Amino acid sequence: MKAKFCIPFNGDLALVKEALSSGQVAEVYYALPSGRWGASDHLVPAPGVSFGAGSVAALGGLCRASGVKTNLLCNSPSLALTPLAGVFAAARRLKADSVTLADPRFLGLFRRALPGVRLHASVIMNLNSEERARQALRAGADTLTLAAEANRNLPLLRAAARLKRNFPGSRIKLVANYCCGYDCVFMNAHYLSGMFRAKTGVPADAAGGCSFRGGEKFERIKRPFIRPEDLGFYEKNGVVDEFKLIARSQPSAVLRRIYKAYFSRKFSGDLGELLGGSAGNYGKDEALYIDNSRFPKGFASRAARCDKNCAACGYCLKVFERVSVPRGGRAG
């Protein structure tokens, strides 16, 4: 059975309505507009991407009419600085079906405050082992968004799926179009930087953003993305209930391209356009075009069973040489 998608709300209700018409959306997730209830997430939207309380309320009605769930993001790395009374009031008023948390310390508090609302563990919680996944479930999470690195670790995915036997009703999400490098050392700092910027308005990236510093270009292939064509591999192995698509800070043209690729489960363009990057130029590498149509058959299976012994393996390099061409050119 094909898994459905969790998609972001960037303020464009028409885009959401268009996506819902596909019948492939299980959930729409959103952050609270800044100012009214207090920021609860880690992200500052790109210029031109904004919405108010009215559009969030309208989103709920639109989703309910289509039988699609809504998810309120409270995925700031720490909620210690967030006035939670306003967040709880917003969740009740907006009739959120679920809340996504990154700070595991607050699972119990949210469970008590919102007893009828499902709690989702954010990818920021970094559930990168069977034990961490088990602990999140014990702490009160109903749905686990596993660490993106799990996409390249089939034994871990299977172990996490087995946990559902002991936690009835629990579910697993996998982030498909993940943008960061594999096991990126910048991850925690990245989310913390965004959190403080969202709360203070002061830019927190003076030291520069994360990058493939000192690495080889082929490491782009090691990023734990799931290609549209490879969704079926995870479904056939029974390790996913829903796929999450990210890029909620991006313009609608970018999101529409991502939705089209994943809903159709095929994409013949630059894979970078589906992954992470700057606004309006989402994941494009400025120097390289990554031709998604040229990935070898069996890529997902090979990548998900990788033992991470890169020194003794040249697979990613071979794939990179096959799929990449200089920007402006195309693989022949």
Question: How confident is the model over 24-50, as a mean pLDDT?
Answer: 68
- Say how far apart CA 24 and CA 59 lie, in whole Å: 17
At residue 231, the pLDDT reads 99
- Taking phi first (over 0 means left), then psi (-120 to 50 degrees means alpha), and beta for anything else, what does residue 170 get? beta
- Quote the tokens at residue 202: 């002061």
- Quote the tokens at residue 74: 């409270």
- Say how far apart CA 202 and CA 89 lie, in whole Å: 27
- Give the list of residues 6+ apart from residue 139 with CB closer than 8 angstroms, or none: 104, 107, 108
Residue bearing tokens 């629990």: 170
Helices vs strands, H then E, count in the chain: 11, 10
To which H or E segment does residue 284 belong?
none
Cβ-contact 220, 249 below 8 angstroms: no
140-197 tens-digit pLDDT? 999 999 999 999 999 999 999 999 999 999 999 999 999 888 888 878 777 777 676 6
Question: How confident is the model over 60-68, as a mean pLDDT?
Answer: 97
- Quote the tokens at residue 254: 């970018």
196-218 tens-digit pLDDT? 666 666 555 554 555 555 567 78
Q: Is the pLDDT of residue 278 over 60?
A: no
Structural domains in the chain, sorted by start: 4-269 (3.20.20.70)
Closest CA to 21 of 63, 58, 60: 63
Q: Is the pLDDT of residue 37 over 90?
A: no
Strands (DSSP E) along 102-198, which ranges? 118-121, 143-145, 171-175
Least confident of 47-56, 138-147, 174-183, 243-252: 47-56
Average pLDDT, the chain: 87
Question: How confident is the model over 89-95, as a mean pLDDT?
Answer: 94
Quote the distance between the C-alpha of residue 93 and its chain's center: 25
Least confident of 62-76, 129-143, 271-285: 271-285
More confident residue, 117 or 11: 117
Question: How confident is the model over 22-41, as a mean pLDDT?
Answer: 78
- Quote the tokens at residue 147: 């660490």
Helical H runs in the chain?
Answer: 13-20, 53-65, 84-94, 107-113, 130-139, 154-163, 187-200, 231-236, 252-264, 299-304, 315-323
Cβ-contact 42, 84 below 8 angstroms: no
